[in-house]
Amino acid sequence: MAPIAVGDVIPDGTLAYFDEQDQLQEASVHSLAAGKKVIIFGVPGAFTPTCSVKHVPGFIEKAGELKSKGIDEILLLSVNDPFVMKAWAKTYPDNKDVKFLADGSATYTHALGLELDLSEKGLGTRSRRFALLVDDLKVKVANVEAGGEFTVSSADDILKAI
């Protein structure tokens, strides 16, 4: 399947997360993004070095600036279970704006065409690193990394594109 691209409508799918009351929730991607301007960014895995030290902190630090430019939601997607995503989210106590969403079986990642086979590293199927700017379900910017790079999908890259 071809990767999601500018002009495409994002597929619907169900992702899991823990809410503010520490209750496990499931939500459709369309319910999170319909009628809104959102950023969906994906990382290969929770607690991994580039994701934890650069990618996620960038979106947390730039959340105010992104929201001032009309972004309604910042959605982080990773092929991890919701319990891992909850534990990872707790390592960012200052985070108020990035929602940590679990795609435990990579079903949604496959629907986006952004899966990455990291079996040789013992990680199985993961997500490519990416950042999408989506306006009412339609992709306006699709910054997808090659391999393990981190050159086009940062919060700063999205800010430049808005």
Rounded distance, CA 30 to CA 38, Å? 11
Q: Can you give the pLDDT at residue 33?
A: 97
pLDDT of residue 126: 84
Check if the beta carbon of residue 158 is closer than 8 Å to that of residue 66: yes
> What's the pLDDT at 2?
86
First-to-last alpha carbon distance for the chain, in angstroms, is 27
Residues 6+ apart with CB under 8 A from 63: 74, 96, 97, 98
Residue recorded with tokens 């991994």: 48
Dist. CA 88–CA 34, nearest whole Å = 27
Instruction: Tell me what pLDDT residue 121 has.
Output: 77
- In which element (H, E) is residue 11 found? none
pLDDT at 87: 97
Task: List the catalytic residues.
Answer: 51
Phi, psi for 8 (deg, rounded to 5)? -75, 155
Strand order in the sheet with 14-18: 24-28, 14-18, 98-102, 73-78, 37-43, 130-135, 138-144
What is the pLDDT tens value at each position of the chain, 162 positions in all?
789 999 999 999 999 999 989 999 999 999 999 999 999 999 998 998 888 989 999 999 999 999 999 999 999 999 999 999 999 999 999 999 999 999 999 999 999 999 987 777 777 688 899 999 999 999 999 999 987 789 999 999 999 999
